[in-house]
Amino acid sequence: MEESSELQSEENKVSNEKNKKRKLKTPAQLLALEKFYNEQKYPTEEMKSELAEELGLTEKQISGWFCHRRLKDKRMMKDEAVANGRQDRSSGVIQDRGSGLGQDSCGSSKHADYRYLDPKEVESHGLYNHEIPVADMAHGHRSRYPENVSEVDETSSESSSFLQERLFSQGQDPYDMEHSRHLTPNGSLPPLNPKGAINMGYKPSGYLKVKGEIEHAAITAVKKQLGRHYLEDGPLLSIEFDPPPPGAFECQSADPANEPYCVANPPLLNSPEISAAKRQPSHSSRYDSYYTKFSSQDSHMEGADFGSLHESDFQEKQDKKARQSTKQRQAFYGYTNHFPGRNSFSDLYEDSTGEASGYNSTKNHRMSTKQGVEGMRSDSASNHSDHYEEKKLAVKQKDLMLHGYDNINPKNIQRSENVKSKPSSSIRRSRVPVDTEERGLSARMAKEEMIKGDRKAKTTYHDVDGAGMLSNEIMVAKRAKVDLLQQYHVKQSSLTEMEPRKIQRSGAEMPSSFSEDETAETSSSRDY
DNA sequence: TTGTGTTTTATTGCCTCC
DNA sequence: GGAGGCAATAAAACACAA
């Protein structure tokens, strides 16, 4: 007995020493976790296990991460709710939300703060919005059913841009979204959490009891706000790709002063007809920023060969930048993530590699609001076909959800130039044995660990976010300057070999804003 | 370089459900 | 009672300003 306890303490000691210092998740791990989280807020044991295996983490870590992630969501939701509450008071949008449920203090001490929503009500369907105004929350229970997705969208207004960000950033691919939200990688219904399963037999309780009223009022308010046709039973908003009507980019609100987002990005927020894919938030989390890293890389890859640009360094810089930017966007932390459907591991795969153009639509749409507008202006219409192709591709990749980590391998990034011409190749490659994937991931992680060691010495990559947010749309505009960029990259590459860090810094300070943001900006602004 | 604030991770205890 | 989840807490990692 004593011996065993001693042994145990010994083990604990070892274990404690092992875990004495908390270990940050690698970007790849975070990316995968976020992806998965977007798809499943409450992963099943199997999922956790699989995820743990894939990421080289323990199930405990996975569980813990998800737990904290959910808490984080709640915090953000709460903060956003507070912020939005104030905003609504001034904007008058969806006021009923505040009057109705906002003050509904269910009294429950533990969950009172989050009375807006029982995460389990909506989580499994990726509609677990950060800041879900009560009115929007009212949709929570319905959001577990696909046909109601669009309604959720429509209840969100610019006042809840955060919600939109989440919704639309997640829903670049409505088809996909629809598909995967309800299908696990196995093709079965997404495993709701045990409680969630129960919730399927939904019985309104608490604030949900009054959801009907709120919901209606909210919808009405949004309708008013939108001033346009309200799709009640039609397809998902994001499915429609009708070209934006004239004036779609104009703020429809009579009081733009109270709608900062509207000012910044009118179409993104006020035009339900605009593809959700277009409505990408400018605010993103650290993770999102990280996503953009890949996006950025993709963009670079498309325009010029960045393979020589020490991708690891670049990545790390971006990661660092992402972290920095997080602070500035705390209030808008969003998930920026995609609809669950889009967030399969195949997406991760694409994310990480930048290989498949399919995800370009996702991450590229995670552009700044300004960029979003410009992107749409520049060639949103012309990209419809691309989007469609991407969707098809994404759907095909559904069954690959849990098998794409090998593609995180940086090597793949260098192949990204071939992506557009060989989208299917990425799919094929994703069907590699798990062990291979794990090796790839491990290699990647190892590399990242190495990178971390070097992190301190690196400088911030300025405006990487901007670069990362580069969208397909912007890419079109950007390509107009591809020659210029190539010239620059060539120079940079050569210089990088000589003095990587220094060059990268300068490259970040000057050109990132020039070659990415400004390029896209100026290009698109020229269009108008 | 250092101090401070923020974010992320790990741990623990409590609660709810089965 | 076990499992899963939430919340609180501590501490490490990180970012940033002085």
- Asked if the model's pLDDT at residue A459 lies above 70, the reply is no
CA A242 to chain centre: 24
pLDDT in tens, A143-161: 333 333 333 333 333 333 3
CA–CA dist A454, A29 (Å, integer): 19
Residues of chain A (176-205) having a beta carbon less than 7 angstroms from strand B: 194-195, 198
pLDDT in tens, A237-248: 443 444 445 544
Helix (H), strand (E), coil (C) string for A135-170: HHHCCCCHHHCHHHHHHHHHHCCHHHHHHHHHHHHH
| C-beta separation of A287 from A38 below 8 A | no
pTM of the full structure: 0.39
Q: To the nearest whole percent, how much of chain A has pLDDT over 70?
A: 11
* Strand B lies under 7 A from the Cβ of residue A25: yes
DSSP states of A298-319: HHHHHHS--TTS-HHHHHHHHH
Q: What are phi and psi of A309, to 5 degrees?
A: -90, 35
- Asked if the model's pLDDT at residue A225 lies above 60, the reply is no
Closest-lying nucleotide for A19 based on CA to C1': B10
CA–CA dist A447, A409 (Å, integer): 9
Give, in Å, how far the C1' of B3 lies from the CA of A475: 43
* Strand C lies under 7 A from the Cβ of residue A479: no
- Asked if the model's pLDDT at residue A362 lies above 60, the reply is no
Residues of chain A (304-343) having a beta carbon less than 7 angstroms from strand C: 320, 323-324, 327
| C-beta separation of A489 from A305 below 8 A | yes
| C-beta separation of A109 from A25 below 8 A | no
Lookup result for tokens 């050109």: A511
CA–CA dist A150, A35 (Å, integer): 21
DSSP structural state of residue A458: P
Question: Based on the number of CB atoms within 10 Å of its own CB, is A505 exposed (0-12), middle (13-18) or buried (19 or more)?
Answer: middle
Strand B bases near protein CB (under 7 Å) are 6-12, 15, 17-18
Residues of chain A (164-193) having a beta carbon less than 7 angstroms from strand C: 193
**Could you give the C-alpha distances from A472 to A214, A224, A483, A523, in angstroms and in order?**
38, 32, 17, 13
Find the helix or strand (DSSP H, E) in which A193 lies.
Answer: none
* Strand B lies under 7 A from the Cβ of residue A60: yes
* Strand C lies under 7 A from the Cβ of residue A63: yes
pLDDT in tens, A303-358: 333 333 343 444 444 444 444 444 333 333 333 333 333 343 334 433 333 333 33
